[in-house]
Homo-oligomer: A and B are copies of this chain.
Amino acid sequence: MEITILTVNNVWMMVCTALVFFMHLGFSFLEIGLTQKKNTVNILFKNFFVITAGLLMYALGGFNLMYPGFEEGSAGILKFAGFGITAPEGGMGFGYADGGYTWWTDFLFQGMFAATAATIVSGAVAGRIKLTSFMLFTILYVGLAYPIVGSWKWGGGFLDTMGFYDFAGSTLVHSVGGWGALVGIYLLGARIGKFDENGKPRVLPASNIPLAASGVLILWLGWFGFNGGSVLSADPTLTSLTLVTTCIAAAAGGISSAIFANILYKKYDLTMYMNGILGGLVGITAGADQMSPTDAVWIGLIAGIIIVLSVAFIDKLKLDDPVGAVSVHLICGIWGTLAVGIFGEIAGLGQFMIQLKSILIVAVFCIISAFIIFFTIKSTIGLRVEKEEEAKGLDLSEHGMQAYE
């Protein structure tokens, strides 16, 4: 490939990498905003850990695990030896990835993705998980489980061979995080006070709605990179179509969620609006490059309705998910993955069945690995903080400080 187009591709991929990195601020703000003030420092600490440790784990081994090399003798990823690298062949520049950008860019873009999986879990388990236990989980889930699942499709593994389609990771990123979140909140139990004596859910106050809302807009911005960069080149038609479907699905998801919540609960529910936008974004992610704008509207509209139903259903199951992570990332991740079999260029019953089968395979693997990790932690150092610690907040008990003056 010619050097100028390589340079353009690389610029686009670096911009997208920066945007995906920035999603970590979006996740942080969303989690802080929707939970109680007393756990703010703790949530930020967890998010800082996810991005810093996640990136180091991915450099240490995750990247190689996920992309085990393509061709014999090529300047493939196997030669990216993580921290072991000192002077790769040809100096620091050691050739280009398939898409026409550097391996360095490829590593960083994928590394930013990897960290998101654990961030999704972070929101769901907020307010009651022990910090050290969460850090252990993050290291194992991001360092091993995520890249193993990813290699099955994006590393050229058996899901790829089977014909599974997951453009930017409705399943491979969002559901992987979502399954971890589901197992986590199941094993942890609900926060004190979340359900009353009759088991009816209570609304625990959100501490800072402006931060939560800005989290949603920052995440939407980040999705320009998350989906736009998943084209793996700056191909003008594919990248721009992807941005259009992404934004339209987000808009449709928000609108349908707000309207549907208004019909059910007779109020203009901002939290549902926010979750609807995120649900639309997760929903379009598996097929953002395959859809027309009209398809994107449908995928978003349905995601918005699913969100409202799912949040109510999770409550009914007496599961406590403070930020709606399971509804947004797992349920809409499943929806988006199936939608590739219903809408767009490769839709069809055959594709739908492949999508479904792949979802189930990933589900089994993620549930089992998350369960093993969480259960082992629970049986040893414990998963949940003491009641008094939870009551006074993790900021004071784990960090000895408060978030606000």
Contact flag A237-B102 (CB < 8 Å), given A206-B405, A213-B28 = yes
Which one of A48-56, A70-78, A142-150, A357-365 is at the interface?
Answer: A48-56
Contact across chains for B104 and A244 when beta carbons are under 8 A apart: yes
Report Cα–Cα, A53/B273, bound state, in Å.
12
Contact across chains for A4 and B6 when beta carbons are under 8 A apart: no
Min distance, Cβ A371 to any Cβ of chain B, angstroms: 26
Contact flag A241-B93 (CB < 8 Å), given A45-B270, A48-B277, A400-B267 = yes
Contacts of A248 in B (CB 8 A): 55-56, 59
CB of A380 closer than 8 Å to a CB of B: no
Contact flag A207-B404 (CB < 8 Å), given A11-B11, A25-B217, A29-B214 = yes
Contacts of A228 in B (CB 8 A): 14
| Tally of contact residues, A, Cβ under 8 A | 108
Which one of A181-189, A292-300, A307-315, A329-337 is at the interface?
Answer: A292-300
Contact across chains for A85 and B292 when beta carbons are under 8 A apart: yes
Contact across chains for B107 and A6 when beta carbons are under 8 A apart: no
Query: 1/0 per position for A375-405, CB-CB distance to B under 8 A?
Result: 0000000000000000000000011111111
Contact flag A239-B48 (CB < 8 Å), given A4-B5, A92-B292 = no
Contact across chains for B104 and A237 when beta carbons are under 8 A apart: yes
Contacts of A224 in B (CB 8 A): 14, 17-18, 21
